[in-house]
Amino acid sequence: MGEAERGDSAPRLRIPFWCSNGHETQPSFASDAQIPETWDCPRCGFPAGKDPDNPPDPPRTEPYKTHLAYVRERRSDADGEAILAEALAKLRGEV
């Protein structure tokens, strides 16, 4: 089935986007479509913007934290000592 059977295609625009790694991508948009400010780079996955001299910063990823690291964020050393003393007292039958 060729283009003649489908009818005319919508007018298109190719808009260039650049990521922080210097990759350029040119997705095609309908001429009446709203053009987004950023576009995901198909090569590296970083966000790409329309300004080649000032591309968006790559997303900052947080390092993996263990359960113990999250507990240490919520509790002080003094809290930990108190909880440990209470648990040891229960085990010894002092409570």
Residue range 39-92, pLDDT digits in tens: 999 999 999 999 999 999 998 888 888 998 888 889 888 988 998 999 999 999
Model confidence at 35, pLDDT cuts 50, 70, 90, reads very high
34 lies in some domain:
yes
Q: Any known ligand binding at 74?
A: no
The total number of structural domains in the chain stands at 2
Q: Indicate whether 72 and 43 sit together in one domain.
A: no
2 lies in some domain:
no
58 lies in some domain:
no
24 lies in some domain:
yes
Residue 69's domain comprises 63-94
77 lies in some domain:
yes
Q: Any known ligand binding at 23?
A: yes
Q: Any known ligand binding at 41?
A: yes
What are the two backbone dihedrals, phi and then psi, of residue 24, each rounded to the nearest 5 degrees? -115, 135
Q: Indicate whether 67 and 45 sit together in one domain.
A: no
CATH number at residue 37: 2.20.28.270
Q: What is the pLDDT of residue 59?
A: 87
Q: Any known ligand binding at 67?
A: no
Tell me the helix, strand and coil percentages in the chain, rounded to 5: 30, 20, 55
